[in-house]
Structure 1
Amino acid sequence: MFAAEGELPSVPYFAITEDSNHKPNENLIGFWAHDREEVDRIAELVVRYGGTIDSGPWQFPISPTYYAVYFQDPCGNKYEMVHRLN
């Protein structure tokens, strides 16, 4: 489950339900980061808690301001954490 800061259930949140056979799909869930340091911090947490880094964290050639990490949770669900200047 991912939630905004504050008390549930009054803040925005969503949860991912595991497939009973632990088979992820091809969806990618993306999150905006406040800054590059937040992207790096999430990458460290992914590794610490058993996830897999697919790519990054680094500056991607999508644009000169696109800094991201792509990763999977231990069940194989795919995510992106990105910081992008406007």
Structure 2
Amino acid sequence: MTKRHLDHIDLRVRDFERARRFYGRLLPALGFTCDRSDTEWGTFYAAGRDRPSEFFGFTEDRHHQPNETRIAFWAETREEVDRIAEIARDAGAKNLEGPEVCAGYSLGY
């Protein structure tokens, strides 16, 4: 039986509209294709399942301070990593680390 290992990711952002534009381009490319956002919450679900699905959410907190939190998404191939990295850069990401192989985690990571 396959079980879910994650229910949701819930972030705070300082600028909701800016985050909405960025994640609106990035998250569908990562499989979060069902946009259920409203004026207070950006919410993207992984669609196509017969039960509640994982979701990625964010809301504004103008006092939020950026930190070193890291969220890593799975990719099947190096080409997929490069494709997602390009989408992230085009959406305005500040790519500080890669994409790159991180052998410190595991071989081929």
Larger-Rg structure: 2
Aligned residues: CA RMSD: 2.5
2:90 maps to 48
Aligned to 2:107: 64
State percent identity of aligned pairs. Answer: 45
- Given the two structures, how large is their TM-score scaled by the length of structure 1? 0.56
The structure in which a higher percent of residues are helix is 2
Displacement of 1:2 after TM fit? 4.7
- How many correspondences in the alignment? 65
Q: Deviations over 1:42-78 (max 9, x none)?
A: 1101110111111111223324312xxxxxxxxxxxx
Unaligned runs of 5+ in 2: 1-42
What secondary structure, in the 3-state scheme, does the structure 1 residue paired with 2:85 have?
A: helix
From 62, 69, 88, the counterpart of 1:20: 62
SS, match of residue 53 in structure 1: coil
| Structure having the larger proportion of residues in strand | 1
Unaligned runs of 5+ in 1: 67-86
Give the drift of 1:22. 5.1
TM value normalised by structure 2: 0.47
